[in-house]
Structure 1
Amino acid sequence: MNIIEFVNNNINNTTCEFKQEIAKLLEAFITDGNLVYPISDPKTMYGNLLYKDRPNPRVKTTNMRNILRYFVSRTRTTNNGNAVSKATDMLMGAATTQQKFYYKNLSDEVNKIIKNRR
């Protein structure tokens, strides 16, 4: 099944343009028909989540979905937040238990760094 078929089968009652935006986002995470999720270092992830444009940079605690959403938003294929959220939810739903475990551990590590720096 290709990406367009996957999107069409999993999203109802939306415009064709919205489905195309989601398909573009998902393309970045599919290699040879398999879902590939980015891997990151907790310290690097913490630095990426900082609100650097503020006088006192801070970061809120996060969870595995928010970290995956960050990676999806970095593909820069769309500025549509709804498409990014929908693609993130689809990727999270298609993730294996091992992938979810990795993102859960990554979010826990990032949250430890956040709490230690407060």
Structure 2
Amino acid sequence: MPSDDQLWLDDDSGPLVRPYAMTRGRTRPARPELDVVTQLLTVRRGDPRNLPVEHDEILRLCARPLSIAEVASYLDTPMVVVKVLVSDLIDQGMLTTDAKTRARGRPNRQLLEAVLDGMRRL
């Protein structure tokens, strides 16, 4: 009979914690303005005994600014799950976003073409 640790780990698929379990069944973040490039930064750490493991890991990672895409990659977790968890942490005042990143929007086409032309010349 396998031990308790072996029941929750499958060598091929990894840990058997489903994304909806991490978000308590929520599939949409409370903050729809979050996107893949939104920069995150930990404002204050919570007591790890009172935080779910995923929340604590996000706070640890965001001790330096990271994008939501980077956090999702480090956690090997779907983007929408990370957005839900990040929304929770922002609402609790533990995480902040870089409003300047969102306000800047996308770079203009002329700038991107100029960068591409410069790279082609290299």
Q: TM-score, normalised by structure 1?
A: 0.36
Q: Which has the higher helix share?
A: 1
Q: TM-score, normalised by structure 2?
A: 0.35
Q: Which has the higher strand share?
A: 2
